[in-house]
Chains A and B, each alone.
Chain A
Amino acid sequence: MEIINKILDKSSLTVLVEKLNASGKEVYAPVNKKGITEFEKVANLQEMDFDCIATKQSAKSLVFPKVEKLMNFEKTFDDVIVKNVDITAFPEVIAFGTRPCDAAGFIPLDAIFTTDNVDEIFKARMDKLTIISISCKKADDFCFCTSVNGGPGNTSGSDILLTEMSPNEYYAEIITEKGKSILDANAALFKDSAVVDKTPLVAKIEQQFTEEVINEKLKTLFESDIWDTQAMRCVGCGACAFVCPACGCFDIQDETKGKDGVRHRCWDSCGFKLFTLHTSGHNPREKQAQRWRQRIYHKFSYQPEQQKQFGCVGCGRCSRACPSDMNIAEHLTQIAKG
């Protein structure tokens, strides 16, 4: 649909969040708790941390939680009775105050779960998610969205994008049908507006590399020793993958007690040795450098090839969270220039 342009006063925004809550939707927004800002359920806007550049973890857990029950099962004498999760019982969720990179992150994540085979549980959660993002006024040294086809005022992935025009006024772009249904239900709160040029209202983020150059370079770098050099200080934890909005790898775990059991889906990471370990004991990615290479290739070669988009939105979370400063933008720039 064509984008609808509106203006929303800050007081109307406060009312909107209260009304969304009152209508039975669960609203999640960045909340600063003990110095760390994460997406938490909020009752009103006063709880929200508007200043946060990026929450520590992404908003992906709203549709892809760190641990999620897929089904219950019960063993009988000669059968197994499976009880699937009731996907119709999932709540309507609003992700509020996400950044354009958070919103864009749902696109590659959705592609992982719905290309070839549609993951019904993920899809059901995604269908019930509405994303109301706020453009970035500030960026930090780790942000690089403009290098991966994003931007501080980018509309991709958002249902509604708000851009602060003044402390009391937001420019609201209604992007999708989901966004429009929120507009329709709360029409009195929105004022009409012409198209606003967002450039002076959003952060300036320098482009460090381009998609074309990365794609071209990666074609011949698979056997390069650059992976050893870059990955030398990588400690091999999964922090980068787990805070990433676009990482969708998971592990399936059954937990049983007597005859009853639960099947869980848990986050997993290609940075772990165990991720590719075969039953035979052979590991096709024995070294951390090979696992680091996989991370880069999956996001910047395989996903563009298979799903026509990067598996990275340039939010910089991995680089902020890394205990040994494995800065993905720095490494990609090195690849682009090399």
Chain B
Amino acid sequence: MEEIKKIARELLAENKVQVVLGFEKGTANKVRPAFFTKAEDIDKLIYNEACIHNIALYLKKDTCQHAKGVAITATPNVVRSILQLSAENQITEEKIHIIGITHEGKCAGILDFKAAEEFSKTQPKGLKPEDKALIEKIQAMSLEERFDYWVEAFSPCIKCYACRASCPMCYCGKCNVETNNPQWIPVASHKYGNVEWHMMRAMHLAGRCINCGECNRSCPVDIPLNILSYMLSDFVLDEFDSEAGLNSVFTSALSAYTVVDKENFIK
């Protein structure tokens, strides 16, 4: 922790960055994302196992967009998000100083994008045992049962869009659900409105989601959206041998064609 603080303090003191994006103690038992602009404030910077929010989200927000340089305390999920944002030309390497934090919570020092790619590949991907169990349960279902499962799972959705708002990959200035001429997705959170919204979002994230689970963590009604994205990522890996969050250059499976792409869907 002290090493992370030392790096953050130096970056601010030397004016290499104007903002350090990290965590601070929140209210009650919570931790929360925080923006540090002065070296003396770094005392308040914390990192512990509760700091699971994917703060790469804020790299696209005003505070970071307006700064020349930004440092970010980055767990493996955050690093993967940064790489994916770079691959999609949303951020540039010159501006971002990644202070890597391993899955064990150890400081990995400052990572340039090349080092971040290596870091991302070597850090294990965590899937909670209950998530694994749910995936197995869904995989054992017939297609009809799966559809019914998801219709039921989406039914408590209140369309607060916390899943979208907290997802670093949902950076579109105008979301498809906000388009109303024509109205692709019903706004109402009734059965079909919910199914179409979540299906649309899942499809737009296929091959781009880095599986941080932030959508599920943010959801006030606890819809297992992370499972939906995980299963799609798994599918993209199988079909296209492509995985999000490993490269800082364009690798999107669903936006690129290669000669080895399977064409077995053409019948």
Interface residue ranges, A against B (CB under 8 Å): 34-36, 56-57, 66-67, 140-142, 232-233, 235-239, 241-243, 251, 253, 255, 264, 266-267, 269, 272, 274, 287-288, 319, 321, 323-325, 327, 329-330
Contact = CB atoms under 8 A, between A and B. Distances in A.
B67 interface: no
A287 B220 contact: no
A56 B221 contact: yes
B222 interface: yes
A285 to B, nearest CB: 14
A140 B29 CA distance: 11
A35 B222 contact: yes
Nearest to A267: B158
Contacts of B33: 233, 324
Interface of B: 26-35, 53, 57-58, 61-63, 158-162, 164-166, 178, 186-190, 193, 214, 217-218, 220-222
Contacts of A287: 62
Contacts of A56: 220-221
Contact of A266 (B53, B188, B218): B188
B220 A235 contact: no
B27 A327 contact: yes
13 contacts: A56-B220, A67-B193, A235-B162, A237-B164, A238-B161, A238-B162, A251-B187, A264-B187, A266-B188, A274-B178, A323-B214, A325-B31, A329-B27
Nearest to B57: A235
Contact of A242 (B29, B58, B193, B220): B220
A335 B188 CA distance: 36
Contacts of B61: 232, 288
Contacts of B218: 235, 237, 239, 323
A66 B28 contact: no
Contacts of A141: 27-29
A154 B58 CA distance: 41
Contacts of B53: 323-324
A67 B188 contact: yes
A232 B158 contact: no
A325 B220 contact: no
A287 B221 CA distance: 27
A238 B164 CA distance: 11
Given A237-B165, A319-B27, A269 B160 contact: yes
Nearest to B164: A237
Contacts of A35: 222
Nearest to B26: A325
Nearest to A266: B188
B221 A36 contact: yes
A142 B62 CA distance: 29
A243 B27 contact: no
Contacts of B187: 251, 253, 264, 266
A323 B162 contact: yes
A329 B28 CA distance: 11
Contacts of B35: 232-233
B189 A66 contact: yes
Given A57-B221, A239-B160, A239-B218, 18 more contacts: A67-B189, A67-B190, A141-B28, A235-B57, A235-B162, A237-B160, A237-B161, A237-B162, A237-B165, A237-B218, A241-B160, A242-B158, A242-B160, A253-B186, A253-B187, A266-B189, A319-B27, A324-B53
Nearest to B222: A36
A56 B61 CA distance: 28
B164 A267 contact: no
> Interface centre among B160, B162, B178, B193, by most A CB within 10 Å?
B160
Nearest to B62: A287
A140 B186 contact: no
A246 to B, nearest CB: 16
Contacts of A329: 27
B27 A235 contact: no
Contact of B188 (A34, A140, A253): A253
Contacts of B190: 67, 264
Contacts of A272: 161
Contacts of A267: 158-159, 189
A332 B58 CA distance: 24
A39 to B, nearest CB: 12
Contact of A264 (B28, B62, B188, B214): B188
Given A233-B32, A233-B33, A255-B186, A266 B220 contact: no
A66 B164 contact: no
Contacts of A67: 188-190, 193
Contacts of B162: 235, 237-239, 323
A272 B217 CA distance: 20
